Structure 1
Amino acid sequence: MRERGFSLIELLVTITVFALILTVAMPTLGTWMDNTRIRNTAEALQNGLQTARSEAVRRNQNISFYLVSLTNPGVMDNNCSVSATGSAWVVSVDSPATKCGSAPSTTVAPKIVEARTGNDAGGKVKVSGLLADGTSAAETVTFNGFGRITNTSPLARIDIKGPDDSVTYRKLRLEITRAGAVRMCDPKVTDSTDPRKCTVPDAT
């Protein structure tokens, strides 16, 4: 009995259908991946904030969390600056500006506790550190030995969103209270009974 394979026409039809499916699915897949990056970045930043607070309590001394921008988002080196739009972060005693590549130390400035690049997001998220007013930029929050915030103009909110303003993403926000508590919330949730609701939801 003679075996029959695919004809050229059948193969072309299959490839065309597959290409159409990919064309329809790609935007959705891209948004899903960006939403995953947003979640991962938010969780990494939350971990950094919690590390700063717990270390301040453990050492009974002021420890700060800094948002930083890196020249190469995948490399934590000294080509860095403290920035309200940085997705990388450093937990340290002193400002890590131009010293982000320093090894963790309790004696050598800037006395880094822990640092992390924003490379997990692949540059596909936007981070905005803000004061409590929700509009003024901020990049640093300092915790004291009681776990409370001690600096006068502290980072009180971090908004994390996707790279394209025309796309509807699942944005997330971190809120830091004056008492030092850190929580993740969804700025689009308006139901007051929903635990995901932010203190001040988005107006849009």
Structure 2
Amino acid sequence: MRQRGFSIIEIVVTIAVLALLLFAAMPSLGTWLDNTRIRNVADSLQNGLQLARGEAVRRNQNVSFWLVEVNDPSQLTNDCTLSGSSGSWVVSVNSPISHCADAPSIISSPMIVTGRAVGDAGGRVSVAAVQADGATAGTTVTFNGFGRIANTDPIQKIDVTGTATGVTYRNLRIAITSAGQVRMCDPAVSDANDPRKCPAE
């Protein structure tokens, strides 16, 4: 009785075809992974902003969202400083400088609610937060008990983009209105009827 199976030539040809397919797909796979990182960082920033606003309303007290830079992007540590180009953030009542790793508290300053480090995506995305003038770096947004912006120099938008040149990414923007509304949008969309379009600046 004749045995069925694959010949060595069939196996080699199959491996060669798979290798060619993998080689052809690698650039688009890398871009897809970077776009996923952009989305994850933008989601995290939007969630932090919405949490700060919700906490301000719940407490009927000013609560701030702070962008912070840490030496190790995988965790919040007390070496933190404010930075408009970081994806790490802290929600607290007072400035969290040098206290980003403190436990949440409603008594001990800086009265941290929560925070999140940018994680491994930090090296693969670029974050740029600016104030209303579109040029000055922004590091904080303070919400009052009505959920409106309470500070005089708040972040108006945060752009989250890819870092490689010559690659078309699906970049995202977090827009914050003076009324305190937080919205994620796509700066590449120009159709006024598209709900992904960013608000006019």
Tell me the TM-score normalized by structure 2.
0.94
Q: Is the 8 A contact 1:187 1:200 kept in 2?
A: no
Identical positions, percent: 59
Map 1:26-175; keep pairs closer than 5 Å.
26-119=26-119, 121=121, 123-175=123-175
> 8 Å contact 2:82–2:139 — kept in the other structure?
yes
SS in 1 for 2:190: coil
For structure 2, the 5+ residue unaligned runs are none
SS in 2 for 1:76: coil
Contact 1:74 1:119 in 2 (8 A): yes
Shift of 1:120: 5.9
Offset of residue 10 of structure 1: 2.5
Separation in 1 of the partners of 2:177 and 2:45?
15
Aligned residues: 201
**Separation in 2, partners of 1:71, 1:174:** 24
Q: Secondary structure at the match of 2:123?
A: coil
**SS of residue in 1 equivalent to 2:33:** helix
Q: CA deviation at 1:5?
A: 3.5
Q: For residues 103 and 72 of structure 2, what CA distance do their matches in structure 1 show? A: 18
For residues 170-181 of structure 1, the aligned pairs below 5 Å read 170-181=170-181
8 Å Cα contact 1:41/1:120 also seen in 2: no
Q: Matched residue of 1:170: which SS?
A: coil
State how far apart, in whole Å, the 2-side matches of 1:87 and 1:149 are.
21
Tell me which residue corresponds to 2:193. Answer: 193
- 1:70 CA drift (Å): 1.7
Which whole-Å deviations, capped at 9, do the CAs of 1:42-67 have from their partners, x for residues lacking one?
11111100111111111111111011
Contact 2:75/2:116, CA 8 A, preserved across alignment: no
